[in-house]
Structure 1
C-alpha cells in the first residue's frame, strides 16, 4: 500500500514588489522558490505522506516541480478515465483558473473610476 498524497498549491504574485527583481530576470523565479518554503513548512509530515507543493505565478509560469507533478497526475487521469484528453483538460482548467485570478488581482489594484464602469472582463 502506498502513502497518501498531501499537496498545498501556491499562486505567487509575479508582479509583487518582493518578487519583481527576480521575476523580471528569470521566468518562473517566484514559482521556483515557493516549493522550498512549503517543504520546510510541512517537513514534519514528509516521512508519512507523499508531499507535493505545486506553485504557479499570476502571469502563468509554473515551477518545474509543478510541471512534473501535473504530468504525473495527468497520466493517471488518462489511465483511470480512458480519455486521452483528460490530462490536457486538467492543464487547461488550471491555466484558466490562474488567468481569472490574475484578472481579479489586476482589477483589485485599479482605482475606482467612472470611466471603467462599462468595462467587463
Structure 2
C-alpha cells in the first residue's frame, strides 16, 4: 500500500495519538488502472479517447472539488503544471494540476461536488 501511494514512511504513535507520513517520489499516485493518468509525466498518462487524442485528468482520491476562481470558460489553454483546482479531503488539500501544455476542452464536475477516486475532472486536448 505504501508503494502504491508513493509513501516512503508511515509512523504512528500513541498514547496521545500522532501520525507522520512521508512522501517519496513526486506525489501520491494511485496504482495503474485503466484510467490512471495522474502523476503528470508522459509515461503515466493514458489516452481515454485514442481517436481524437484527447485525455482526461482523473481524481486522485475522494474529496470535494473546488475550482480556484469559480467557473471558467472552456476551451482554454493551460501550461504544464498550472493549478486548475483543489480537492479538499477533510482538512487536507490536494492540488489538481495540468500534466502538460494543453487545451482544457471541458470540465466534468461542478464546483463543490464530492468526487470519487478516478472520477473524470477535466478533458484535455494536448497542444501541438
Question: Structure 1 length as normaliser, TM-score?
Answer: 0.30
| Structure with the higher strand share, 1 or 2 | 2
Please say which structure displays the higher CA radius of gyration. 1
Question: Structure 2 length as normaliser, TM-score?
Answer: 0.29
